[in-house]
Amino acid sequence: MRRLALIAALLTGLGWTSGASAAIAGAVARQPVNWTAILMFGGFVAITLWITGRAAAKTRNVADFYTGGGITGFQNGLAMAGDYCSAASFLGITSQIFNDGYDGLIYAIGFLVGWPIVLFLVAEKLRNLGRFTFADVVSYRFLQGPVRSFAAVSTLLVVSFYLIAQMVGAGQLIQLLFGLPYLYAITIVGGLMMVYVLFGGMRATSWVQIIKAVMLLCGATFLVLGVMAHVGFSFEALFAQAVAVKTKMALAAGLSPGEAAAKARAIMGPGGFIKDPISALSFGFALMLGTAGLPHILMRFFTVPDAREARKSILWATVWIGYFYALTFVLGFGAIVMISFNPDYVDAAGALRGGNNMAVMHLAHAIGGNLFLGFISAVAFATILAVVAGLTLSAASAISHDIYASVLRKGRADPKQELRVSRITTILLGIAAIILGIVFQKQNVAFMVSLAFALAASGNFPVLVMSLLWKGCTTRGAAWGGGVGLLSAFGLTVLSPVIWVAVLGFATPIFPYTSPALFSVPLAFLAIWLISILDRSPRAAIDRAGYPAQRLRSETGIGIHGAAAH
Amino acid sequence: MSTSDHDGTAIEARVAADPRYAALVRDRQRFSWILTIVTVVTYSSFISLIAFDKPLMATPIGSGTTSLAVVLGFAMLVGTVAICAIYVRRANGEFDARLAAILADEAA
């Protein structure tokens, strides 16, 4: 793991550069083949494939495929955490803190704060109305064709951007951690994800995510204990030592003692991440409301039996995700203290060996040696697999359940046929993911995760809230208003610095802020409202008349579909 | 929370007409909106504080190294979990009990 290599695209690929400041560019150099990591990852694959085999035996119908036959709120919470905490958060946040200090925590909070919104506004209603996909919920009282088509298009868009970022990130990460060529890495990820989803459906996906979450949380906890033991279990000592290390570095760089002290102190406060308040708030709202509109997260609500367990799922998910982000913060400071002056980990110029995202990897080596480094590398790989499996399943269900069974077959599809369509879709998605991973290998995909969040926040979230909570919402309002949200979020992102300048190379952006959400979300709400109140069609009358029955069911769960087959 | 199919419509109409149902929906909705507003306002304030007053956020607590930003950041993480716990406690406790009572009475 010593070969000098400037990565960057890793962070980029995994989406941590959504803020303007964190963009890093550069090539990724392949590392020597790391057999410890590969063997440990092989163990993870063996266990998950065994689970997939068992799940496959139980996956007999569409309900099994989409919901996995039911798990508890606690298990689902862990699976949600496994679905949500990417390898990027682990490597990206810790490295960002290692370099700049505090700012990593601002990201982390943004990624956590959407969960209460999901809980308060949509969770129980979603569970009470839906069966397999969030489109079941938004189309409940509307004409199925337009609203499901909108939901399916939106799902595919969000999933595609998220998936491309994950695939490119996976290829680079695995090159880095395992020393395998990019193409191998991409094919392994695409192939395994296909096997999990194809044979094991939601049951296997859930367990892959649960096992991964447990591995990630245990590994990070062990590392934090190592860090805290090093500083005598005092946070004050941790921060004081980190500042002392940064001061020493600044002095070595030739700064005067006063300047060095000030520069070192800066790691304890917010730095360059938040420049203008509008971008900051807009990005924050995209993260917060986007979480409440991510199709692969919303789909997880249908794996639990009722609203009660759905609420517990979120509480547990929030506990684990919050805990995880708190750990990453400590790990970032731990890395400053423990690896900054070790020539094994840092070169003469103070840069991390192996690339900008390696801080936590070096820390793992410093604390637990080669074996633990192998374990953490395997965890990072498992993390990517768990995330892409969840994404694939939600895209497959959008095509088979929403487009094929509900729109094309008007709800009269043969369930066996629907299951076959989901499996064919899974294979196609796996192949598409591998191809996209190859096509985008050298591209700047930094904007893709934040774009996925912005689309989810501007398309899915407003449609979900309005269809659930506003009597006056109509088919046209939901389908077209949601479309306005998607289009405006996409258009403004293209015109913003993250694409217009960083990807297309223009000098000045037309839309000056890094995230569109602060504008596109209200615009979507406005469009849904306006189109709905102007809608005088006969269908609109049916839509409005359907509200009381939908409301009753969403509040009480009378007539709820079970998570298991029935 | 199940219903038999033969009187499915009947129980729905009876629940909808029950004044306790209207009260439950009103209370739960008010509670969830209050908590939503608390979440959004707290988070927006946190981001604005960072955007508008970075030196304040970097101020150390007492004579130590730990800064206000670190304390507030961790408070945000803990507070997010806590506000979820507050909602789940009341929704799975009081609200579900009230709903169960309505459903039991109306199903009888």
**Over the stretch A223-276, which tens digit does the pLDDT of each residue have?**
999 999 999 999 999 999 999 999 999 998 889 999 999 989 999 999 877 778
DSSP for A203-269, please give it.
HHHHHHHHHHHHHHHHHHHHHHHHHHHHTTS-HHHHHHHHHHHHHHHHHHTT--HHHHHHHHHGGGS
Q: What is the pLDDT of residues B58-106, one digit of tens each?
A: 999 888 899 999 999 999 999 999 999 999 999 999 999 999 999 998 8
Residues 287-306 of A with CB under 8 A from B: 288, 306
Say if A113 falls within a structural domain.
yes
A-chain residues near B22 (CB < 8 A) = none
Residues 117-176 of A with CB under 8 A from B: 117, 119-121, 124
Task: Give the pLDDT score at A88.
Answer: 73
Q: Which of A105, A120, A549 sits opposite B35 (nearest CB)?
A: A120
Cα angle vertex A109, ends A382, A308, to 5°? 75
**How far is A18 from chain B, CA to nearest CA, in Å?**
16
Gap between the Cα atoms of A209 and A390, Å rounded: 8
Say if A1 falls within a structural domain.
no
- B contact test, residue of A276, A555, A560 with most B CBs within 10 A: A555
Task: Give the pLDDT score at A26.
Answer: 39
Say if A162 falls within a structural domain.
yes
Say if A3 falls within a structural domain.
no
**How far is B64 from chain A, CA to nearest CA, in Å?**
7
Amino acid at A475: T
Taken as a whole, chain B contains a residue count of 108
Gap between the Cα atoms of A137 and A302, Å rounded: 11
- Of residues A498 and B81, more confidence is placed in B81
Percent share of chain A, pLDDT over 90: 60
Say if A201 falls within a structural domain.
yes
- Of residues A451 and A172, more confidence is placed in A451
Gap between the Cα atoms of A427 and A434, Å rounded: 11
A269 touches chain B (CB under 8 A): yes
* 8 Å CB contact of B84 and A318: yes
Predicted confidence band of residue A2 (pLDDT cuts 50, 70, 90): very low
Domains identified in chain A, total number: 1
A556 touches chain B (CB under 8 A): yes
Say if A507 falls within a structural domain.
yes
* 8 Å CB contact of B57 and A558: no
Task: Give the pLDDT score at B22.
Answer: 94
Task: Give the pLDDT score at A333.
Answer: 96
Closest residue of chain B to A122, computed from CA coordinates: B32
Say if A434 falls within a structural domain.
yes
* pLDDT exceeds 70 at position B1: no
Give the range of the structural domain holding residue A171, as residue numbers without chain letter. Answer: 9-556
Q: Which of B39, B55, B65 sits opposite A117 (nearest CB)?
A: B39
Predicted confidence band of residue A169 (pLDDT cuts 50, 70, 90): confident
* 8 Å CB contact of A284 and B44: yes
Helix (H, G, I), strand (E, B) or coil at A463: helix
* pLDDT exceeds 80 at position A21: no
* pLDDT exceeds 60 at position A147: yes
* 8 Å CB contact of B70 and A106: no
Q: Which of B44, B55, B80 sits opposite A112 (nearest CB)?
A: B80
Q: What is the pLDDT of residues B11-36, one digit of tens each?
A: 888 999 999 999 999 999 999 999 99
Task: Give the pLDDT score at A4.
Answer: 31
Residues 16-75 of B with CB under 8 A from A: 16, 21, 24-25, 28, 32-33, 35-36, 39-40, 43-44, 46-48, 50-52, 54-55, 57-60, 64-67, 69-70, 73-74
Predicted confidence band of residue B8 (pLDDT cuts 50, 70, 90): low
Task: Give the pLDDT score at A356.
Answer: 75
Helix (H, G, I), strand (E, B) or coil at A352: strand
Residues 101-120 of A with CB under 8 A from B: 102, 105-106, 108-109, 112-113, 115-117, 119-120
Task: Give the pLDDT score at A185.
Answer: 85
Residues 56-85 of A with CB under 8 A from B: none
Average pLDDT over residues A506-519: 92
* pLDDT exceeds 50 at position A419: yes
Predicted confidence band of residue A475 (pLDDT cuts 50, 70, 90): very high
Interface confidence (ipTM) of the complex = 0.92
Q: What is the pLDDT of residues A358-401, one digit of tens each?
A: 889 899 999 998 889 889 888 888 888 888 999 999 999 999 99
Predicted confidence band of residue A565 (pLDDT cuts 50, 70, 90): very low
Say if A563 falls within a structural domain.
no
Q: Which of B50, B80, B92 sits opposite A270 (nearest CB)?
A: B50
Average pLDDT, chain A: 88
**What is the domain-level CATH number for residue A177?**
1.20.1730.10
Provide the Cα torsion A389, A82, A1, A333; round to 10°.
Answer: 150
